Structure 1
Amino acid sequence: MTRFVCLSVLVLLAAVAVSSKPNEDYDKEHIAEVAEECKTESGATDEDVEHMMQHEPADSHESKCLRACMLKKFEIMDDEGKLNKENALEMVKVKSKADAEMEAAATEIVDKCEGIEVPEDHCDAAAAYEECIMDHIHEHGLSLE
């Protein structure tokens, strides 16, 4: 669950509203399909996708853009490059399966990261959100595995 929170909220993330039911949006197969689309759109490599899935920091602009694309496709980042708190929390709610502790931690993380100053470049903004989310996940003692 926490691994998915990171991927989705980033990558941190995520997905509410591609076009299917929420539970279907969040399955691993759908995430992999979106990652492949975003890899192509961003010019990222298979290695960039693997690094993202392993929660490693982006090491190139294309890798940052891969993450921004994922966040946008899952409507976790809006067209202005800002975190969409409502959609991020909805995703967490669906994936947490009524785990109140997980929802509370995720809500706190999203609240903290939503308000950070991010660069205008959406790719760099995605990386900034990811860094914030990862920092707070660790502060909460959550594991990504």
Structure 2
Amino acid sequence: MKYLVLFVLVVVVGTFPAVLADSDAEFKEKVGPVAKACQADAGATDEDVNTYIAWEELKTQGAKCLAKCVYEKMGLIKEGKFVSDEDILKIYHQVYAGNEEKLAKADNVVAKCVPLGRNEADGCEMAAKVHACGTQN
């Protein structure tokens, strides 16, 4: 059970920092290790990792593939596609039960951002589109 709770927390914190992290430092602390673990597989540079963690625009292929890898490790992308909006929202609602502000932001980001990546054939581009939307919402 404790592993399930930990997994859910990691998934939620890693998704959209504008929604989830109470501070930039909290996001860096929780997502930074996952991004570093993905660095080699994604072909990302240290600068790509820093760009992702800073929630900035992902301009390089390495940074875009890093986002894909992080989302995969978080369980948001399975078999090359984002899991259903309902599955993502179930996680948010479990973690943020009672926090109406966070839930409203989560609902907004999932509704606006995840669909942008659904029709993208390239997984790295898919993740980058969702990331870009999340930075603006």
TM-score where L is the length of structure 1: 0.67
Change over 3 Å in CA distance of 1:130–1:101 after alignment to 2 = same
Q: Equivalent pairs: percent with the same residue?
A: 25
Q: Which consecutive unaligned segments of at least 5 residues does structure 2 have? A: 14-25
Q: Which consecutive unaligned segments of at least 5 residues does structure 1 have? A: 1-18, 138-145
**Map 1:6-85 → 2, pairs under 5 A:** 20-23=3-6, 25-26=9-10, 31-85=31-85
Counterpart position of 1:128: 129
Structure 1 residue 124, shift from structure 2 partner = 0.6
Counterpart position of 1:111: 111
CA distance in 2, matches of 1:32, 1:84: 25
Structure 1 residue 97, shift from structure 2 partner = 5.7
Is contact 1:44–1:66 with CA below 8 Å preserved after alignment?
yes
Structure 1 residue 43, shift from structure 2 partner = 1.3
- Alignment-mate amino acid for residue 92 of structure 1: Y
- Alignment-mate amino acid for residue 131 of structure 1: A
How many residues end up aligned between the 2 structures?
Answer: 118
Name which structure has the greater RCO, CA cutoff 8 Å, separation 6+: 1
TM-score where L is the length of structure 2: 0.70
